Amino acid sequence: MGNLLLKLAYFLEGSHKYYTFKHFVYEFLEDTSSKKKKYFDFLMIFLVLSTVGIMIYEVNHVTLPWLSTYETVAIIIFIIEWLGRFWVISHAHRQIVEDYEKSRLINQTFQIKESVKTIIKEKLRFVFSPMSIIDLLAILPYYRPLRILRILMLFRLFKLLRYANSIKQFSDVFVEKKFEFFTLAIMFFMAITFGSTIIFIYEGAGVNDNIHTFFDAVYWSVITISTVGFGDISPVTTEGRVATIFLVVGGVGVIAFFTSIVTTALSTRLLALKEEKVIGEANALKEFVIICGYGRMGKVLAQEFIKIKQKFIIIDHEDEVFSHANTQNILSIKGDATDSSFLSTIGINKGASSIVAITNDDAVNLSIILTARSQNPDINIIARANNQKVKKKLFLAGANEVVSANEISALVAAEYIGQPIAFEAIDDILLNTEGAIMDEVEIIQKSNYIGHKLENIDFTQFNLTLIGIVETSNHKKFTFNPQPDQYIIKELDILIIIGHKESVSKFKIELIGSKPKISMRKKISNKIISSKKQDK
Amino acid sequence: MIENRIIIYSFSQIASKIAITLREKKYNVLIVEDDEDLAQEAKKSGFETKTLSLMEDENIIELGLDKDHIKAFFCLGNNKNTNLFITLSVRNLNKDIKIISLSSTKEDNKTLLLAGANKTINPYEIGALRIFRSLHKPIIQDILDNILFSSSNIEIAEFTIQKDSIFNGIYLEDLKKIHKKNIIILGIQDKELSDKFIFFSTGINHKIDAGDTIVMLGFDHDLQDFKKLISKII
């Protein structure tokens, strides 16, 4: 028997199919990062709510046959789910394999009983875990003779805890504030004991018609201390009324204490929850930009990114700024961008392609650059220099580009004074407004235009002006206004053009799809040649 | 009368940078600053400086800002309200002077333009857009830098057509035929139509009249040649 188990364990350990299938099930049930679990959770939430709905319906209606079939199916799914969890919670066969190899290593005879014991222990730990008990209790009321346990159907609602992460977070609050709740419970217990004892002593012995047992007294004090006060039991003696006064006053205190504990715990949890959500979202992003500092510059940058649907995340440590970004529905997180562990949780070496350090403090910007560079040697870093003199240092720290707003503004101002109209023309392009844009169009591999002369592209037809060509194959050399009848288009050339947005996108589509047209001029010149030949 | 005179109000960080850049471009810069320390700093940097508050109209008149010979007035104080006040005062005294004011938000831009500024400079916006372009279109950024700000030989230039120029009355398309040099015509600003700039690439074949301004890109020497051609009289 032992031998058989051992063989089976080794067989499973070696089976690829077994592992893939187990992992597949694991993804559905336990892998919080998996999309499959999300869909599965939705299904389960629906099943839970619908079965509870059915039970409520059955209270004063005749059971419809299809409803009971539906419930049966749901219960079967619940059972399968529980069994699945029971299965994936640990690798039983591996325990046997490991124990066997260990015993061989130290030259001892292998005791399969020991391994089985550990396996059973592990599985039992799962069976008696709170969530598993809830699962089982949710299945139980289906068994008709146990209809008395119908109250347990409510446990199905607790099952929801499994599927909603945020609810689980709230239940964690109680664990977190254990000490406070414990103190509160003692206070509550003392007040209740005190109140119920007094009322029972003075009014229990037939004085008050409503108080017969000690339980009545406890019931009365709980109702009183909670300030609910149904009034079904009320004190009739002076002593009883004095006790009531103390209980009510004490009750207000207890409730205030309770409320404050719960609210503070929940609000801190809420922040943590939000942060977790933002980090989760950021980690799922690809090619996103981290903006450190959400000041006046950060706001403009964020607006531009939104326009082109570039993904980004804002980091700022000031509450005010942070909440502004929040109200704008921008992915933002409060934190210190100079903290390397913080940057790595956001995903500086995962999905981030660039980081922008634009706080109004050059020392902070420098620190961000160094931290980011140490975390990711390849990331593109752009920094703001508030003081031109620190530009060099920022480059030294590892920035790929340093922008001094004052310096550029000065250049822009000088340009405007010198050539106002030329400036206005380029202003449209600079400020990214609706008018004309300057854009780059790449000659993709296998493009039909490769090897042809530039004159084969008719820019005027698209209402575009060609400014120049960047030759990727030639060290990114920029040729200004290349001669159309001489320049030969190469693979990966980048055409720099000016025109309206629509014209540019039309042009891009054309360039990707079509064959080069031989221009009219060429056709005419061909004709001329042939007619000359005829003349001869 | 001093040629190419530019008056700059304030010697804030950005103002000093603008003053230095303009001086490099051979403009005659006068700094007006009401803060003693900053005025001293401006003097130390070698600028002609006056310690004056521009909140009084008399002081603005004393500077000659009500006369037309001043090329431009920069209002670059750190206080938004002072900038607004001074912009409005100067515009009130001189309808034609070019006023450039410092703003820090889009809303400020609007109020300053309303107060009479011809142009606002928002360093935050300019800086942010630069970062944006660096990330979004680095190649375009490089080329624009080359054309606009660096001392490379490709320049952007504008030429206003005079009444007796040989270009008066011809079409933009023909302009290209007349001049086949290595020059790209970006567009034209028509004085009659509006102040809006019309890009050549819109495809409208515009008739050039006196007073229109043509904007073009090209190598320095080609642009110089073109300038000679354009000032030729019929």
On the question of pLDDT at A203 being above 80, the answer is yes
Q: What angle do CA A259, A157, A71 make, to 5 degrees?
A: 170
Fill in the DSSP letter of residue A64: P
* CA B221 to the chain's CA centroid: 23
| Residues 43-72, chain B, touching A (beta carbon < 8 A) | 71-72
Q: Are A443 and A457 in contact (CB under 8 A)?
A: no
Q: Are B4 and B23 in contact (CB under 8 A)?
A: no
On the question of pLDDT at B88 being above 90, the answer is yes
Q: What is the pLDDT of residue A275?
A: 79
Q: What is the pLDDT of residue A526?
A: 37
Q: What is the pLDDT of residue A147?
A: 56
Longest dimension (CA), chain B: 59
Percent pLDDT > 90 in chain B is 28
What are the structural domains of chain B? Answer: 5-121 (3.40.50.720), 123-152 (no CATH), 154-230 (3.30.70.1450)
Chain A residues with CB under 8 Å of B5 CB are none
Q: Identify any residues that bridge with A332 across adjacent strands, giving them in sequence order.
A: A314
Domain with CATH 1.10.287.70 in chain A: 178-268
Higher local confidence (pLDDT), A84 or B149: A84
Domain with CATH 3.30.70.1450 in chain A: 433-533
Q: Identify any residues that bridge with B29 across adjacent strands, giving them in sequence order.
A: B6
Q: Which of B37-41, B165-169, B198-202 has the highest mean pLDDT?
A: B37-41
Find, in chain B, the residue whose alpha carbon is nearest to that of A459: B201
Q: Which of A44-48, B83-87, B127-131 has the highest mean pLDDT?
A: B83-87
| Residues 401-460, chain A, touching B (beta carbon < 8 A) | 401, 403-422, 424-426, 428-432, 435-436, 438-440, 460
Q: Do A408 and B72 touch (CB under 8 A)?
A: no
Which residue stretches of A362-516 are H helix?
362-375, 391-397, 405-418, 420-430, 501-513
Find the helix or strand (DSSP H, E) in which A355 lies. Answer: strand A352-357
Q: Are A203 and A211 in contact (CB under 8 A)?
A: yes
Chain mean pLDDT for chain A = 82
Q: Which of A1-10, A394-403, B169-178, B186-195 has the highest mean pLDDT?
A: A394-403
Q: How many CB pairs under 8 A join A and B?
A: 200
| Residues 500-529, chain A, touching B (beta carbon < 8 A) | 500, 503
Chain B residues with CB under 8 Å of A426 CB are 144, 147-148, 156
Residues 6+ apart with CB under 8 A from B111: B84
Domain with CATH 3.40.50.720 in chain A: 287-408
Task: Name the minimum distance, in Å, from the CA of B121 to any CA of chain A.
Answer: 7
* Residue B16, token pair as written in the block: 């000093």
Find, in chain A, the residue whose alpha carbon is nearest to that of B99: A417
Q: Are B6 and B30 in contact (CB under 8 A)?
A: yes
* Residue A9, token pair as written in the block: 């364990």
Query: Which of B72, B129, B156 lies nearest to residue A426, judging by beta carbons?
Result: B156
DSSP, collapsed to helix, strand or coil, labels residue B150 as coil
Chain A residues with CB under 8 Å of B71 CB are 417
- Best to test chain A binding among B199, B212, B219, B222 (most A CBs inside 10 Å): B199
Q: What is the CATH number of domain A287-408?
A: 3.40.50.720
Q: What is the pLDDT of residue B195?
A: 64
- Comparing CA positions, the residue from A320, A319, A326, A321 lying closest to residue A295 is A321
- Comparing CA positions, the residue from B64, B104, B63, B49 lying closest to residue B81 is B104
The arrangement of secondary structure in A178-268, i.e. its CATH architecture, is Orthogonal Bundle (1.10)
Give the Cα separation of B48 and B33 in Å (integer). 11
Q: Can you count the helices (H) and strands (E) in chain A? A: 21, 10
Q: Give per-residue pLDDT as tens, A13-31.
A: 888 898 889 989 998 888 7
Average confidence (pLDDT) over A464-473 = 86
On the question of pLDDT at A267 being above 70, the answer is yes
ipTM (interface predicted TM): 0.86
First-to-last alpha carbon distance for chain B, in angstroms, is 33
Query: How many other C-beta atoms are found inside a 10 Å radius of the C-beta of residue A406?
Result: 23
* Residue A7, token pair as written in the block: 């063989």
Fill in the DSSP letter of residue B207: B
DSSP, collapsed to helix, strand or coil, labels residue A82 as helix
Q: Within an 8 Å CB–CB cutoff, is residue B21 touching chain A?
A: yes
Q: What is the pLDDT of residue A152?
A: 67
Q: Do B215 and A414 touch (CB under 8 A)?
A: no
First-to-last alpha carbon distance for chain A, in angstroms, is 106
Fill in the DSSP letter of residue B156: E
Q: Is the dihedral of CA B48, B52, B57, B61 positive or negative?
A: negative
Q: What is the pTM of this model?
A: 0.67
Give the Cα separation of A99 and A95 in Å (integer). 6
Look at domain A433-533 and name its CATH class: alpha beta
Q: Are A371 and A342 in contact (CB under 8 A)?
A: no
Query: Which of A299, A301, A413 lies nearest to residue B121, judging by beta carbons?
Result: A413
Residues 6+ apart with CB under 8 A from A247: A191, A195, A221, A224, A225
Chain B residues with CB under 8 Å of A414 CB are 18, 21-22, 25
Residues 6+ apart with CB under 8 A from A84: A25, A28, A29
On the question of pLDDT at A435 being above 90, the answer is no
Q: Are B90 and B82 in contact (CB under 8 A)?
A: no
Q: How many CA atoms lie within 13 A of A34 on its CB side?
A: 15
Give the Cα separation of A489 and A466 in Å (integer). 14
DSSP, collapsed to helix, strand or coil, labels residue A315 as strand
Q: Are A336 and A342 in contact (CB under 8 A)?
A: yes
Give the Cα separation of A169 and A343 in Å (integer). 24
Q: Do A297 and B130 touch (CB under 8 A)?
A: no
Find the helix or strand (DSSP H, E) in which A439 lies. Answer: strand A436-442
Q: What is the pLDDT of residue B177?
A: 65
Q: Are B146 and A318 in contact (CB under 8 A)?
A: no
On the question of pLDDT at A148 being above 70, the answer is no
Query: Which pLDDT band holds residue A523 (cuts at 50, 70, 90)?
Result: very low
Query: Which of A380, A405, A431 lies nearest to residue B124, judging by beta carbons?
Result: A405
On the question of pLDDT at A169 being above 70, the answer is no
Q: Give per-residue pLDDT as tens, A271-314.
A: 777 777 788 788 778 889 999 998 889 988 998 888 888 889 99
Q: Give per-residue pLDDT as tens, A324-378.
A: 777 777 888 888 888 888 888 888 888 888 999 999 899 999 999 999 999 899 9
Percent pLDDT > 70 in chain A is 88
Give the Cα separation of B99 and B7 in Å (integer). 10
Q: Are A355 and A348 in contact (CB under 8 A)?
A: yes
On the question of pLDDT at A483 being above 70, the answer is yes
Query: Which pLDDT band holds residue A159 (cuts at 50, 70, 90)?
Result: low
Task: Name the minimum distance, in Å, from the CA of A445 to any CA of chain B.
Answer: 19
Q: Do B135 and A494 touch (CB under 8 A)?
A: no
Q: Which of A43-57, A245-259, B86-100, B183-197 has the highest mean pLDDT?
A: B86-100
* Residue A29, token pair as written in the block: 């049930």
Task: Name the minimum distance, in Å, from the CA of B52 to any CA of chain A.
Answer: 23
* Residue B149, token pair as written in the block: 């700000």
Q: Do B18 and A467 touch (CB under 8 A)?
A: no
Q: What is the pLDDT of residue A530?
A: 35
Q: What is the pLDDT of residue A365?
A: 93
